[in-house]
Amino acid sequence: MVSDGVNLRVEGASQSYDGERWQFRALDFDLSAGEITAILGPNGRGKSTLLRVLAGLLKPTAGTMHLNPRTGFVPQEFSGSFPYSVLDVVLMGRARHIGLFRTPRKIDVDKSMEALSLTGMADYAQRNIESLSGGERQLVLIARALAGENAVLLLDEPASALDLKNQDVVLSLLATLADREGLAVAFTTHQPNHALAVADKVLLMLDQARAVFGATDEVMTEDNLEALYGIPVRSAKLDSSQPVDVAFVPLFRQRDRKGIRP
């Protein structure tokens, strides 16, 4: 782990699978304890690939990576060929503590149940993972990463398939993990308002050679988001009594009832 409160640092990170098309180039940023970083970019820009690099699952083509070995990765969904119980899935997060070909000990079960309690899923421990809703499964996957006693949590679009209420549940949990548990959290998203809700910092992956990284209030601007997504984006001022007093609204191309552009 790198020093001065930074849990993960990236310097000049670049990734290409064929040496011609680059997912990203020359990225510089860091993840600090107790902070949340949101990573935004259009489809195919390399957000998921970046997370795999940060998790140590993929070696970058170029650049220097200072990775924390205690890093947990939360994919978009769980796919298994067996009817695992929720507790079984969370115990998988204890793999490096259990050891190869060994059975879970009491401490492993206890740590897994603690993680389920933190995500509000303890009562589901004996349920079949396949019987849960999308939002419930996402909370179980987060619990699996927490059971590994990780200092860094990387999540790939954790709220992409969830309804508004469950999006709020997941985002609120990420805030709790950063504020109360001191984790360094990074997540990818297509929703600018998710970044506004919880992120301290934002990484905008504009194209394969351009990125913007910095404090959320400085990076999340109409101009930057329009450059990111290629459509006009406007900010709307909300009730100043609310925790988040700004929201971003995309201006989609619309047609009138006769099919003629206005």
Write the pLDDT tens digit of every residue in 154-178: 999 998 888 898 899 999 999 999 9
- Per-residue model confidence as pLDDT tens digits over 45-72: 899 999 999 998 999 999 998 989 899 9
212-257 pLDDT, tens digit each: 999 999 999 999 999 999 999 999 988 777 777 889 999 887 766 5
Euclidean distance between CA atoms 26 and 21, whole angstroms: 14
d(C-alpha 149, C-alpha 111), whole Å: 8
19 pLDDT band (50/70/90 cuts)?
confident
Identify the pLDDT of residue 190.
93
Q: Where in the chain is the domain with CATH 3.40.50.300?
A: 1-70+151-231
Q: Is the dihedral of CA 164, 115, 154, 18 positive or negative?
A: negative
**Whole-angstrom distance between the N-terminal and C-terminal Cα of the chain?**
55
Q: What pLDDT, on a 0 to 100 scale, did the predictor assign at position 227?
A: 94
Percentage, residues of the chain above pLDDT 70: 92
Query: What is the per-residue pLDDT for 261?
Result: 56
pLDDT band at residue 259, thresholds of 50, 70 and 90? low
Cβ partners under 8 Å of residue 256, min gap 6:
262
**What integer is the mean pLDDT of 140-158?**
94
d(CA 28, CA 139): 30
Sorted by sequence, the CB contacts under 8 Å of residue 236 that are 6+ apart come out as 246, 247, 248, 249
Quickly state the pLDDT bin for 20 (edges 50, 70, 90): confident
More confident residue, 41 or 79: 41
Q: What is the CATH number of domain 1-70+151-231?
A: 3.40.50.300
Average pLDDT of the residues of the chain: 89
Rounded to two decimals, the pTM is 0.89
Angular region, 154: left φ>0, alpha ψ -120 to 50, beta rest:
beta
User: What SS3 state is found at 157?
Assistant: coil
* pLDDT at res. 117: 95
> Hey, what are 117's tokens?
């309690």
137, pLDDT greater than 70: yes
